[in-house]
Amino acid sequence: MDDSYYIKTALHLAEKARGYTAPNPMVGAVVVKDGKVVGKGWHEAVGKAHAEVNAIDNAGVFAKNATLYVTLEPCNHTGRTPPCTQKILDAGIKRVVVALEDPNPDVKGGGINFLKTKGIDVLSGVCRKDAEKQNEVFIKYVKTRRPFVILKCASTLDGRIAAKTGDSKWITNSKSREFVHELRHGVDAIMVGIDTVKKDNPSLTTRLDHKKGKDPIRIILDTNLSIDENARVLQLESDSDTVLVSGSPAKEAIKAKLESKGAKVVEIAKKNGLIDLDSLMDHLGKSGITSLLIEGGSRVIASSFSAGIVDKIYFFFGPKIMGGDDGTPVCRGPGPDLIANCTSVKDISVRRFDDDIMIEGYIR
């Protein structure tokens, strides 16, 4: 087997921790000796042992003179845990293959350079693109201290997310919806506008059949704090918070009543009459939120593109045609005057969930 095979094995292991490691990256590692995998490990959750430590411990005495394959450059600093580079040296590893150098500008290259000075053979950049995609959230956050923003919507083939009555159940099928719940599990926070809360009364939690999913922090854009105090998002038994974002100074009585329901109220300045989403991203980043899933509605979707905060899209299309112009469009509000000024989507991939089609792509 070549180096890429073992790095892909490590990437597969790292994926097991999606949703549990933020603000840390997902990392997987395998120890190989004489062409056989003798140790496996991954970073299971924030605060727990790193992937290299788990893989080396799993290998035991077989780690001596073996090769360590790891998806991210081993750390050479002490954080919540000791440096992995020392663990590698103590185990007698003779060669290290790394998929991706640590993108954190404060530590980039430190682990690789340290290992090289100790006489260990280090190769980096194997399956780099795969590793970058897996940790795209971590990469953006450590470079900008702002969340990686994913925008998801589900529409008919003619671009409607609801009928004129507001009915939207269900445009897409159960397999598409399960994928969306996987997305919710994998992000720190989910965001919708108050109109979505008023029309659909969603819970915005994660519901998965095959495992207990992690609920994201629920962020509601509610400029005037007009949410019904009996809304489902204020009645949940969940480990995550509900955050109401006000665009105006909140009246203390209303704020106190909502906070008594367990909600947190955040005030963000308005821009052109709407909550300034760019400023909100700065606030979320400072709050330690590394990833955000936007689920609408149409004004929030349009405002998100207009504000330039979106990094990635998932557009689902169900095999239905509304056949009229009175339903709810994907985006509502003024658009550009010219096609040349549309938001461009790059690195497109297409996936099917039975008869549904999903388009995945990147904005920047």
DSSP 3-state of 52: helix
Contact (Cβ atoms closer than 8 angstroms) between residue 197 and residue 227: yes
Cα–Cα distance, 52 to 111 (Å, whole number): 12
Cα–Cα distance, 256 to 251 (Å, whole number): 9
Cα–Cα distance, 112 to 124 (Å, whole number): 8
Bridge pairing between strands 356-362 and 346-353: antiparallel
Cα–Cα distance, 123 to 4 (Å, whole number): 11
DSSP assigned state of 15: H
Q: Tokens 């792509």, residue?
A: 361
- The secondary structure of 1-54 as a DSSP string is --HHHHHHHHHHHHHTTTTTSTTSPP-EEEEEETTEEEEEEE--STTSPPHHHH
52 given a catalytic annotation: yes
CA 182, 100, 309, 217 torsion: positive or negative?
positive
Active-site annotation holder among 52, 73, 101, 295: 52
Contact (Cβ atoms closer than 8 angstroms) between residue 195 and residue 299: yes
Contact (Cβ atoms closer than 8 angstroms) between residue 203 and residue 232: yes
Cα–Cα distance, 102 to 115 (Å, whole number): 14
Task: Enumerate the active-site residues.
Answer: 52
